């Protein structure tokens, strides 16, 4: 599966989509769900929680393992994808539409430090070998 | 270098995700572990279990040797073809392995042992053979492959592929087996569903696997095998028991014969043992996933107890998390305990397992 070029990526395999209203949407990458396998449990952060960059803020568990999700940038949680909790398999179906939460960034400069699609593809490639 | 079964290339050709499983290069899944799980519960799936080892014991009075070697009583094996599940113990009653013994004739028994313990099992059998019955011949059969075909439609699909086997195997009850030409067919398994475990020459395994696939049997990997056996409440060696645990604290008292006069390795230790712990089932009440090594905590009658999950995971059939846990013998079925999951304590109910048998939820 190709890596969408309109998104940014963290080294810990979250994707970030800057929205028109200034918020960002966060999910986990296709590569991450592929490593984890069938997803069976999602725990999302509380709306209003203030997160620091790289802070543990959600849990994604598959049949195989539990994985922490880290906030790719600092900011306040403005929305969470609650229906996903009942259908974690949506992440396996399409990791880039099954978002986890939205953030209002507190430091937009952190966005520039994230990986673009090409750099993320290289990271995935290097981890496969 | 990882060890490979005769079906290694076949798995790769079917796009299996391969993993290192105790030194064996084995299929984890062929796309979706959950789909494979459901296929076995509802229709038919097949597992390559050729990493497990068949050990043939032949000679005069094999039965007499096995009476002393294992904790269950091989005198329960009256009819040829009958199988028996048992532990093989150290003198301290630690579990060397759990295995299945097939009685073929008084001069030939076959034992199927776990992959990870195969070398030490054979070494132990040879050592005890030299002490107790030096005339017996013990032969590890790495020339054989083993395929488990499991699910409500598994037997019918096997008969479709090997029609000659139907008359010899359709009357088999659970834990019975028959030899049909080159196939050794047993009505046993590790999923809680009906089906066969079939032992055959390694060279014939790929063609047989492909024929089963063409008959509609879904390939299933170690991932589904683990969730199926956990739902079925079947112990996994190395997780739910090992050489530091005895069968009485591992939910396996039913496999130990302490009533007959016969002596066996580990018997005296078991007779003297004070059993303080038990293996129980847990069903998670709160949201989350139970995993091995999570701690079980709580109080009963004002006294604190502790325990540990030995196997945990998500039950695809029940759509909630279940576990096997070794906890204080003071805890009863129906009690509620707490499990430490990351920074939280989640509530779980103590239940009698199996959780699922023949497609039905039992708890």
Confidence band for B69, pLDDT divided at 50, 70 and 90: very high
Answer whether residue B267 is part of any domain.
no
Q: Are residues B230 and B280 in the same domain?
A: no
Q: What are phi and psi of B308, to 5 degrees?
A: -145, 140
Q: Has residue B215 been placed in a domain?
A: yes
The answer to whether the beta carbons of residues B59 and B152 sit under 8 Å apart is no
At B113 the pLDDT is 98
The reply to whether B33 and B167 lie within a common domain is yes
What's the predicted TM-score (pTM) here? 0.94
Give the CATH number of domain A8-107: 2.40.50.100
Q: How confident is the model at residue B59 (pLDDT cuts 50, 70, 90)?
A: very high
Nearest CA in chain A to B34: A38
Specify the pLDDT at position A1. Answer: 66
Q: Which of A40, A89, A92 sits opposite B289 (nearest CB)?
A: A40
Torsion angle of the four alpha carbons B235, B237, B238, B240, in this order, in degrees rounded to the nearest 10: 20
Q: Do B214 and B346 lie in a common domain?
A: no
Please answer whether residues B150 and B47 qualify as being in contact, where contact means their C-beta atoms are separated by less than 8 angstroms.
Answer: yes
Is residue B291 located within the same domain as residue B217? no
Cβ-contact A70, A12 below 8 angstroms: yes
Shortest CA distance from A89: residue in chain B: B34
Q: Are B207 and B332 contained in the same domain?
A: no
Average pLDDT, chain B: 97
| Whether residue B214 is found in the same domain as residue B308 | no
Q: Which domain does B189 fall in, by range?
A: 1-236
Residue A76's pLDDT is: 98
Total domains present in chain B: 2
User: B181, B204, B236: which is the final residue of a domain?
Assistant: B236
**What average pLDDT does this structure show over B311-324?**
97
Q: Which pLDDT belongs to residue A127?
A: 84
Stretch B233-259: mean pLDDT, rounded?
Answer: 98
CA nearest to A93 within chain B? B32
The verdict on B126 and B33 lying in the same domain is yes
For residue B257, tell me if it sits in a domain. Answer: no
The string of pLDDT tens digits covering residues A14-60 is 999 999 999 999 999 999 999 999 999 999 999 999 999 999 999 99
> Domain extents for chain A?
8-107
In a domain, B127, yes or no: yes
B291, closest residue in chain A (CA to CA): A65
- Flag if A37 and B33 touch (Cβ within 8 Å): yes
pLDDT digits (tens, 9 = 90+) for B137-175: 999 999 999 999 999 999 999 999 999 999 999 999 999
Query: Which of chain B's residues have a Cβ under 8 Å away from the Cβ of A64?
Result: 28, 33, 223
Query: What's the gap in Å between the CA of A91 and the closest CA on chain B?
Result: 13
User: Nearest CA of chain B to the CA of A47: how many Å?
Assistant: 19
pLDDT at residue A28, as a whole number? 97
Q: Could you report the per-residue pLDDT of B181-214, keeping only the tens digit for each?
A: 999 999 999 999 999 999 999 999 999 999 999 9
Tokens of B93: 């009653």
Asked if residue B13 is part of any domain, the answer here is yes
Does residue B191 sit in the same domain as residue B306? no
Nearest by CB to residue A63, choosing from B33, B287, B342, is: B33
Judge whether B286 lies within some domain: yes
Q: Which residues contact B183 (CB under 8 A, 6 or more apart)?
A: B162, B165, B198, B199, B200
Q: Which of A36, A63, A64 to mutate to test the interface with B (most CBs of B within 10 A)?
A: A63
Nearest to B313 among A63, A85, A89 (CB): A63
Same domain, B194 and B302: no
Is residue B327 within 8 A of residue B286, CB to CB? The reply is no
Q: How far is B339 from chain A (nearest CA, A)?
A: 16
Q: Which residue, B204, B236, B268, sits at the end of a domain?
A: B236
- What's the alpha-carbon Rg for chain A, to the nearest Å? 14
Q: Between A41, A59, A92, which is nearest B314 by CB?
A: A41
């Amino acid at each position: 599966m190709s890596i969408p070029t309109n998104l940014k990526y963290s080294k810990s395999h979250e994707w970030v989509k800057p929205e028109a209203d200034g918020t960002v949407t966060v999910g986990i990458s296709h590569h991450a769900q592929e490593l984890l396998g069938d997803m069976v449990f999602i725990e999302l952060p509380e709306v209003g929680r203030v997160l620091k960059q790289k802070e543990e803020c959600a849990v994604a568990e598959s049949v195989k393992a539990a994985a922490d999700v880290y906030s790719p940038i600092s900011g306040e949680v403005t929305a969470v994808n609650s229906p996903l909790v009942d259908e974690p398999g949506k992440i396996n179906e399409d990791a880039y539409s099954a978002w986890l939460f939205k953030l209002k960034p507190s430091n937009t400069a952190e966005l520039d430090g994230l990986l673009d699609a090409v750099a993320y593809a290289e990271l995935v490639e290097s981890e496969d070998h | 270098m990882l060890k490979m079964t005769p079906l290694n290339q076949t798995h790769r050709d079917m796009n299996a995700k391969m993993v290192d499983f105790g030194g064996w290069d084995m299929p984890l899944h062929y796309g979706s572990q959950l789909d494979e799980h459901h296929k076995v519960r509802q229709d038919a799936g097949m597992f390559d279990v050729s990493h497990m080892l068949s050990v043939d014991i032949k000679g005069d009075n094999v039965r007499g040797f096995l009476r002393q070697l294992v904790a269950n009583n091989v005198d329960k094996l009256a009819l040829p073809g009958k199988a028996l599940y048992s532990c093989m113990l150290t003198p301290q009653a630690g579990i060397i392995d759990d295995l299945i013994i097939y009685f073929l004739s008084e001069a030939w028994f076959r034992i199927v042992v776990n992959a990870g313990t195969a070398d030490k099992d054979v070494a132990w059998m040879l050592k005890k053979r030299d002490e107790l019955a030096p005339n017996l011949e013990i032969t590890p059969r790495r020339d054989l492959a083993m395929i488990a075909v499991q699910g409500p439609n598994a037997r019918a699909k096997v008969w479709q592929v090997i029609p000659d086997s139907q008359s010899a195997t359709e009357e088999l009850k659970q834990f019975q087996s028959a030899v049909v030409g080159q196939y050794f067919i047993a009505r046993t398994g590790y999923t809680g569903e009906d089906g066969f475990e079939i032992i055959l020459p390694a060279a014939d395994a790929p063609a047989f696997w492909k024929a089963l696939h063409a008959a509609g049997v879904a390939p299933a990997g170690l991932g589904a095998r683990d969730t199926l056996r956990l739902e079925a409440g079947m112990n996994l060696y190395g997780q739910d028991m090992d050489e530091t645990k005895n069968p009485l604290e591992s939910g396996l008292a039913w496999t130990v014969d302490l009533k007959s006069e016969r002596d066996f390795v580990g018997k005296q230790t078991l007779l003297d043992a004070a059993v303080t712990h038990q293996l129980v089932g847990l069903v998670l009440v709160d949201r989350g996933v139970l995993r091995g090594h999570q701690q079980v905590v709580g109080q009963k009658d004002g006294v604190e107890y502790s325990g540990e999950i030995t196997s945990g995971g998500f039950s695809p059939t029940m759509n909630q998390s279940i576990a096997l846990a070794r906890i204080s013998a003071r805890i009863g079925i129906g009690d509620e305990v707490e499990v430490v999951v990351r920074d939280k304590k989640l509530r779980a109910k103590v239940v009698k397992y199996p959780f699922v048998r023949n497609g039905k939820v039992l708890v």
